[in-house]
């Protein structure tokens, strides 16, 4: 079994909160992780079982009497009626910790029930697909990615990857089942994944009448990973109206399949009014939807830069969320067309990041970083993430870092 970075944080946090919720898209390993660390006596219930789901929905009080804590409840969003009775149990047992371990893949439903019933009583964690570090099955402690000159001291310990190896990972994706069972064909896995998502989650969430068109919509979104969001263009490609495009994209965001990254603004209240970028949260799923069949063709194809950028974003976010931290990541784009792929902001300091599909980084790679001076904030160490085999300085306060180094941060 692949050890997950988030594991010790779950065990530690469970000792401080009566309820723990593990969120994440389907099949990223939520139930496997919780079952692997559960202590003796903790039961496991999944609401993928229709009878158990109906029992919990129709008589939540009796359900909890029949299956008392400590308990794991998987896909808990299917029985939101339970939240009120979990609250009652927690209030009646104020000193009990770790009573309920919950997991779910539809964050909107989960958050709605939690805001109404379990606020202040629950710890919420996010699990994504396997990070590169987890895929390599490397032991040791990771930290949230932030460029530092200390990385120059660690070059000898680096594991070097070729561009082909990175694109192998991009093409395969990050779902644990694809690495636990390496012979699994990715096309069969992703076809089944999408069928399950559309038939169980999207149909129920959206009341879909045309599942084929919704599938075409997901494909159109995948083709735009790493690009600015344009609802009118997206709607036109699938022959739906803009209102429907907004509703459908929101459903993908709620399911954890897609993330919108906002442009940076010095005025945080203005960030949401600017045009965000779309990113798929699993590059393997995006590759399947856009019909790339080999790492070589993907690496040399029209989407190679966007897919590499998507991979880097996912790895950075995993480095934060799997360490139980919240990322603060955006991108920069001004009216002059100057762009910076990503900005990590920490303690009021901006760290610019460029992603380049090159093994020969140069000063030109970071030429746009100077645009941040106009924001009136301190700029920290910048990064060019590329395929050069070790970490080197390329400009003042800018490091070239191998893309696989994110996993070792």
Task: Tell whether 92 is covered by a domain.
Answer: yes
pLDDT at 113: 65
Considering the domain architecture, whether residues 160 and 257 belong to the same structural domain is answered as: yes
Considering the domain architecture, whether residues 33 and 96 belong to the same structural domain is answered as: yes
Considering the domain architecture, whether residues 239 and 196 belong to the same structural domain is answered as: yes
Instruction: Identify the domain boundary among 70, 92, 126.
Output: 126
Considering the domain architecture, whether residues 99 and 240 belong to the same structural domain is answered as: no
Task: Tell whether 97 is covered by a domain.
Answer: yes
Instruction: Identify the domain boundary among 87, 102, 126.
Output: 126
pLDDT at 317: 97
Considering the domain architecture, whether residues 122 and 197 belong to the same structural domain is answered as: no
Residue 47 in contact with residue 73, Cβ under 8 Å? yes
Considering the domain architecture, whether residues 224 and 316 belong to the same structural domain is answered as: yes
Task: Tell whether 146 is covered by a domain.
Answer: yes
Considering the domain architecture, whether residues 45 and 169 belong to the same structural domain is answered as: no
Task: Tell whether 46 is covered by a domain.
Answer: yes
Phi-psi region of 4 (alpha: psi -120 to 50; beta: other; left: phi over 0): beta
Q: To which H or E segment does residue 235 belong? A: helix 231-238
Task: Tell whether 1 is covered by a domain.
Answer: no
Task: Tell whether 2 is covered by a domain.
Answer: no
**Range 73-90 burial, b when 16+ CB lie within 10 A, else e:** bbbbbbbbebbebbbebb
Considering the domain architecture, whether residues 80 and 146 belong to the same structural domain is answered as: no
Rounded distance between C-alpha atoms, residue 358 and residue 45, angstroms: 48
pLDDT at 337: 82
Instruction: Identify the domain boundary among 110, 126, 142.
Output: 126
Closest among 111, 290, 268, 282 to 218, alpha carbons compared = 290
Phi and psi angles of residue 374, each rounded to the nearest 5 degrees, phi first? -75, -10
Considering the domain architecture, whether residues 255 and 359 belong to the same structural domain is answered as: yes
pLDDT at 271: 44
pLDDT lower than 70: segments of the chain: 106-113, 115-116, 138-141, 154-160, 266-273, 407-409
- Tokens 């880097």 correspond to 312
Considering the domain architecture, whether residues 163 and 96 belong to the same structural domain is answered as: no
Interacting residues of 329 by C-beta distance below 8 A, sequence separation 6+? 261, 313, 316, 317, 342, 343, 344, 345
Considering the domain architecture, whether residues 92 and 138 belong to the same structural domain is answered as: no
Rounded distance between C-alpha atoms, residue 200 and residue 194, angstroms: 10
Instruction: Supply the pTM of this predicted model.
Output: 0.93
pLDDT at 209: 84
Considering the domain architecture, whether residues 118 and 137 belong to the same structural domain is answered as: no
Domain hosting residue 102, numbered range: 7-126
pLDDT at 408: 62
Rounded distance between C-alpha atoms, residue 253 and residue 91, angstroms: 33
pLDDT at 82: 93
* CATH number, position 97: 3.40.50.300
3-state secondary structure of 44: strand
The total of structural domains in the chain comes to 2
């Amino acid at each position: 079994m692949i050890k997950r970075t988030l594991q010790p944080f779950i065990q530690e946090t469970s000792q401080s909160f009566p309820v723990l919720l593990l969120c994440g898209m389907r099949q990223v390993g939520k139930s496997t992780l919780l079952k692997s660390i559960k202590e003796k006596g903790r039961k496991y219930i999944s609401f993928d079982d229709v009878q158990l789901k109906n029992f919990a929905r129709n008589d939540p009080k009796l359900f909890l009497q029949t299956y008392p804590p400590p308990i794991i409840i998987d896909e808990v969003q299917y029985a939101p009626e339970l939240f009120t009775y979990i609250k009652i149990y927690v209030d009646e047992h104020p000193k009990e910790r770790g009573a309920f371990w919950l997991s779910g893949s539809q964050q909107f439903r989960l958050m709605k029930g939690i805001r109404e019933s379990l606020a202040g009583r629950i710890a919420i964690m996010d699990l994504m697909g396997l990070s590169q570090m987890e895929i390599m099955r490397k032991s040791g402690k990771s930290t949230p990615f932030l460029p530092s000159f200390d990385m120059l001291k660690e070059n000898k310990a680096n594991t070097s990857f070729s561009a082909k190896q990175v694109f192998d990972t991009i093409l395969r994706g990050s779902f644990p089942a694809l690495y636990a069972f390496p012979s699994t064909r990715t096309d069969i896995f992703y076809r089944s994944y999408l069928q399950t998502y559309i038939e169980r989650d999207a149909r129920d969430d959206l009341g879909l009448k045309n599942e084929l068109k919704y599938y075409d919509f997901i494909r159109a979104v995948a083709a735009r990973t790493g690009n600015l969001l344009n609802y009118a263009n997206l709607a036109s490609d699938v022959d739906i109206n803009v209102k429907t495009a907004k509703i459908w994209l929101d459903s993908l965001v709620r399911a954890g399949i897609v993330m919108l990254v906002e442009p940076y603004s010095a005025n945080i209240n203005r960030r949401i009014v600017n045009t965000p970028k779309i990113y798929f949260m699993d590059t393997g799923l995006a590759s399947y939807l856009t019909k790339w069949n080999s790492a070589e063709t993907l690496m040399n194809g029209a989407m190679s830069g966007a897919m590499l950028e998507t991979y880097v974003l996912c790895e950075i976010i995993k480095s934060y969320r799997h360490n139980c931290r919240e990322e603060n990541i955006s991108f920069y784009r001004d009216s002059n067309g100057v762009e910076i792929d990503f900005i990590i902001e920490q303690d009021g300091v901006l760290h610019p990041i460029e992603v380049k599909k090159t093994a020969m980084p140069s000063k030109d790679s970071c030429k746009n970083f100077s645009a941040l001076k106009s924001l009136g904030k301190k700029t920290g160490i910048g990064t060019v993430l590329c395929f050069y085999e070790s970490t080197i300085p390329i400009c003042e306060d800018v490091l070239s870092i191998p893309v696989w180094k994110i996993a070792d941060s």
